[in-house]
Chain A
Amino acid sequence: ETGVTQSPTHLIKTRGQQVTLRCSSQSGHNTVSWYQQALGQGPQFIFQYYREEENGRGNFPPRFSGLQFPNYSSELNVNALELDDSALYLCASSLGLENEQFFGPGTRLTVL
């Protein structure tokens, strides 16, 4: 059974650019959640996708958007990058909305 994978591992962008992060959910999981973890902080909920529909969103601006595909993999898109977007972005998958979330290793984004 393959766990949650994320790509790329690391990414460096400059202010104003756009970035796409990818997540492959664990086999059989139909729900994906995205979190942002700034340095020294806990993960903060960005949004969740269930069966290709957004199902809940945290306190993040609209320039943070996402997609979930029919195979339940997911993308996180961030437009007009700001320095404060520098963080570890974590993806978690689960079987259904309420069940245990399994986290991937994250993508480290640095915005210069």
Chain B
Amino acid sequence: DQQVKQNSPSLSVQEGRISILNCDYTNSMFDYFLWYKKYPAEGPTFLISISSIKDKNEDGRFTVFLNKSAKHLSLHIVPSQPGDSAVYFCAAKSGTSYGKLTFGQGTILTVHP
């Protein structure tokens, strides 16, 4: 039972353009969502998060949007840079699950110069 899904295994964009990574979830108990970035041979690093009481959170070039009714979140990267090329995971947790993160399968982002 995949409670968090990233349906696009890969995404390719041109440098300077917008990258949009999508994530869907099924568990209504999830109330906090995170995006992680992972480079090869490194662990995932935290990028940005959003609480279910918000619908948008911005941090520099990164913005996360949450649509609770659709159980959908997206990560926008503007402008995209070659250094953004990595695997992006969305993750979710509920208030009752303490630190347990439920991850999606990941999306490989490639930003071409």
Contact = CB atoms under 8 A, between A and B. Distances in A.
Interface of A: 4, 31, 33, 35, 40-45, 48, 50, 55-56, 58, 90, 92, 94, 97-98, 100-106
Most buried by A among B44, B45, B103: B44
B89 A98 contact: no
A106 B43 contact: yes
B61 interface: no
Interface string B11-49: 000000000000000000000000010000111111000
B98 A56 contact: yes
Contact of A97 (B4, B6, B42, B98): B98
B68 to A, nearest CB: 20
Interface of B: 4, 6, 36, 41-46, 89, 91, 97-106
A90 B43 CA distance: 7
Nearest to B89: A42
A23 B67 CA distance: 37
A98 B101 CA distance: 10
A94 B99 contact: yes
A44 B43 contact: no
Contact of B98 (A35, A48, A104): A48
A84 B36 CA distance: 25
A108 to B, nearest CB: 9
A103 B99 contact: no
21 contacts: A33-B99, A33-B101, A40-B105, A42-B104, A42-B105, A43-B44, A43-B89, A43-B103, A44-B103, A45-B101, A55-B98, A56-B97, A58-B100, A94-B99, A97-B99, A101-B99, A103-B44, A105-B41, A105-B42, A105-B43, A106-B43
> Which 7 pairs show the lowest CB-CB distances between chains A and B?
A103-B43, A42-B103, A97-B98, A45-B100, A43-B103, A103-B44, A97-B99
B99 A98 contact: yes
A48 B100 contact: yes
A48 B103 CA distance: 15
Given A42-B105, A42-B106, A43-B103, A98 B44 contact: no
A90 B100 CA distance: 13
